[in-house]
Amino acid sequence: MTSFTITVNGKGHFPCRPDQSIVDAGQQAGFGFPVACRNGVCERCLGTLRAGHVQQRNHTIHAGDADSTRVLYCVALPLSDCEIDVPEVTAPGELPVHQVNCRIQQIEALNHDVSRVWLQLPAGQSIRWHAGQYLMLNLGGESYPFSIANHCDGRALELHIRHGDDNSAAQDIMASLQSSSTVSTTLPAGLRFIDTAPDQPVWFICGSTGFAPVKAMIERLIALDFTHPVRLFWGARTPEDLYLPRLPAQWKGVLKDFDATTSLSDISHPDHAEGLVHEAALEALGEPELPLFFLGGSPPMAWAVFDALVEEGVPAENVHCDVFDYAPRD
């Protein structure tokens, strides 16, 4: 039997037979449709028909018709290739995005200008994220991205916020959090993460609070009982800028093959490498085509490290950082 192609939310497409509801076909293809019934009663699958034609019960709907903005896709059968929009549909492997109010559980200083903020997700909702993704704090009509520093294991969300004298916006965010009991969040976001175990070594290069997503990804590798080598290169200006200094030693005790190097750019110290953090990584790099790299830091830092790695022979597709998606180069 002939199948039609259904493109949903611009995220992807799937085949659908003319005797098959679009929701059924989409779910078989791995798309997540919001649905609580199969007969058009709950209206959770309500969406818009952007192109094509469908039959809904005994009524034919064409894109552009008055009722094409209220199509119930659990009872809609395709009559042609279609382009549809349905809120909250997820592509295969994609997690649904939620906007929820979180309780502010605890705020603690980790060093002179970094604080850890613990948030608690509301009970009764299934909210997941992948290790390495981030959330948005919605404050005063603005949204601010912060990496989630723990992997998904319950309702707790861990944030690392640097709020030094050179960052007045972060100081305002901390003041708002310290004076409130809840905060609006949107999560998850980000395309560079670890969910399943890669079949190759994983190297992390980060600076300052770029350590936050790295921490989450290393925790995920521990949960996966990861057996390939893991290397961490963490840069700062001075020893006082590093925080959670005991964690690398703890990870060395639970990962099969783990090593960590800290690097200081502003001073010389016997316990740390000297210079920019990626220089220490390049010095340790043997076979550049083998590791999978994850970077954490500012856009200038991430792009500089990317260029240095690629120049050393690392395949560009082996280097990942959210910066490449939200701050691409021309």
Is this prediction's pTM over 0.85?
no
What pLDDT does residue 38 have?
A: 84
Element (H, E) at 145: strand 142-147
What pLDDT does residue 297 have?
A: 93
Residue 11 has pLDDT above 90, yes or no: no
Residue with tokens 């316990």: 271
Mean pLDDT along residues 53-79: 96
What pLDDT does residue 1 have?
A: 75
Could you tell me the pLDDT band of residue 298, with boundaries at 50, 70 and 90? very high
What pLDDT does residue 277 have?
A: 95
Residue with tokens 């608690």: 120
Mean pLDDT along residues 295-313: 95
- Distances, alpha carbon 12 to alpha carbons 84, 128, 159, 193, in Å: 11, 21, 32, 20
Round to whole Å and give the CA distance between 180 and 147. Answer: 20
For the record, the structure tokens of 70 come out as 């209220």
Residue 330 has pLDDT above 80, yes or no: no
Cis amide bond preceding 188, omega within 30:
yes
Instruction: Give the model confidence (pLDDT) of 80-95 as tens digits.
Output: 999 999 988 988 878 8
Mean pLDDT along residues 234-240: 95
Are the CB atoms for 261 and 289 separated by under 8 Å? no
Could you tell me the pLDDT band of residue 212, with boundaries at 50, 70 and 90? very high
What pLDDT does residue 37 have?
A: 85
Are the CB atoms for 211 and 160 separated by under 8 Å? yes
What's CA 181's distance to the chain center, in Å? 25
Are the CB atoms for 155 and 121 separated by under 8 Å? yes
**Closest to 22 (Cα-Cα) out of 72, 84, 77, 86:** 77
- Distances, alpha carbon 276 to alpha carbons 234, 263, 298, in Å: 10, 7, 14
For the record, the structure tokens of 288 come out as 């550049």
**Closest to 265 (Cα-Cα) out of 216, 212, 304:** 304
- Distances, alpha carbon 225 to alpha carbons 149, 163, 266, 290, in Å: 19, 35, 36, 20
| Beta-carbon count within 10 A of 29 CB | 16
Instruction: Please give the domain boundaries of the chain with CATH numbers for all domains.
Output: 4-85 (3.10.20.30), 98-189 (2.40.30.10), 202-326 (3.40.50.80)
From 27-31, 158-162, 198-202, 210-214, the region with the lowest mean pLDDT = 27-31
Instruction: Give the model confidence (pLDDT) of 110-155 as tens digits.
Output: 999 999 999 999 998 889 999 999 999 999 999 999 999 999 999 9
Round to whole Å and give the CA distance between 277 and 321. Answer: 16
Are the CB atoms for 164 and 113 separated by under 8 Å? yes
Q: State the DSSP string of 14-35.
A: EEE-TTS-HHHHHHHTT-B---
Residue 326 has pLDDT above 90, yes or no: no
